[in-house]
Amino acid sequence: MFDLSGKSALVTGASGGIGGAIARALHTAGAQVALSGTRVEPLEALAGELGERAFVVPCSLADAEATAALPGQAEEAMGGLDILVNNAGLTRDQLAMRMKDEDWQQVLDINLTASFRLSRAVLRGMMKRRWGRIIGITSIVGVTGNPGQTNYAASKAGMIGYSKSLAGEVAARGITVNCIAPGFIETAMTDVLPEAQREKLLTSIPAQRLGRPEDIGTACVYLASEEAAYVTGQTLHVNGGMAMI
């Protein structure tokens, strides 16, 4: 079950905690993986660790042209592109009253617009092959909202909206478009939380632990699999029961 042998996947933000775990999980399931991100060093390190079937394709998603060219580079490296995981994202948290236009715009540009551009760019090949998986890593806050994150929540809710629309457009061509919405996951981002805040956080999670990056990787393998062919336009919440939606 969930064998991705012969499939090729592009993962953005693969230098991060969740992105790295997604790439590892897809690779373990047999897929070739193209690792993208802005920092080459961690990408090279991950590719080295994975060994065969791993390629590094650096890209700045702030650059529209480079973003449009990325799927082509990944396809060239792997000889195909069947799975796109839009994982790259950033935060610029601030109360709405204090939020600068540039903080709003930058988050929307990278999290929402760049992921749409990548999704658009992979469609042609997927339509021809009559098979494709587009997976957007959104966030629980895209559905629930979170004070201090108007920009981030808007970008993540936006991903869910365009994924549903796109899912409807391409479902008849064997392409599924889904989102995964992680709750609180143990990464560099949550490591910096003070102990008291961490304790408080745990009381709101029925599973009584933070999620592991691997929890997201596994969800990704499922949505990328042949077995999930009939699942499209959905958001899979992986949050330990923190929000049951």
Partner 1 sequence: MTMSDVAERVKKIVVEHLGVEEAKVTEDASFIDDLGADSLDTVELVMAFEEEFGCEIPDDAAEKIVTVKDAIAFIQENA
**Contact call for residue 108 and partner 1 (CB under 8 A):** no
Phi, psi of 27 (to 5 degrees): -65, -45
118 binds partner 1, rule: CB under 8 A: no
Q: How many CB atoms lie within 10 A of CB 36?
A: 30
> Mask: binding to partner 1, 164-203, rule CB under 8 A, as x and -?
-----xx-xx------------------------------
Whole-angstrom CA distances from 57 to 145, 199, 213, 242 are: 33, 39, 22, 35
Contact (CB, 8 A) for 20 and 56? no
Q: Which is nearer to partner 1, 166 or 224 (CB)?
A: 166
CA angle 113, 44, 59 (to 5 degrees): 20
Q: Could you say which of 45, 99, 127, 201 contacts partner 1 (CB under 8 A)?
A: 127
Nearer to partner 1 among residue 85 and residue 170 (C-beta): 170
Q: Which residues fall within 8 angstroms of residue 5, CB to CB, at 6 or more apart? A: 29, 30, 31
CB of 138 to partner 1, least distance (A): 25
* CA–CA gap between residue 46 and residue 35 (Å, rounded): 8
Q: Tell me the window of 52-60, 122-130, 143-151, 196-204 that interacts with partner 1 (CB under 8 A).
A: 122-130
53 binds partner 1 (CB under 8 A): no
Residue with tokens 């090729």: 8
Q: Which is nearer to partner 1, 39 or 130 (CB)?
A: 130
Catalytic residues: 152
Number of H helices, E strands in the chain: 10, 7
84 or 123: CB nearest partner 1: 123
Residue from 128, 198, 200, 209 in contact with partner 1 (CB under 8 A): 128
Q: Is 124 in the site for partner 1 (CB under 8 A)?
A: yes
Q: Report the interface residues with partner 1, using CB under 8 A.
A: 124, 127-128, 169-170, 172-173
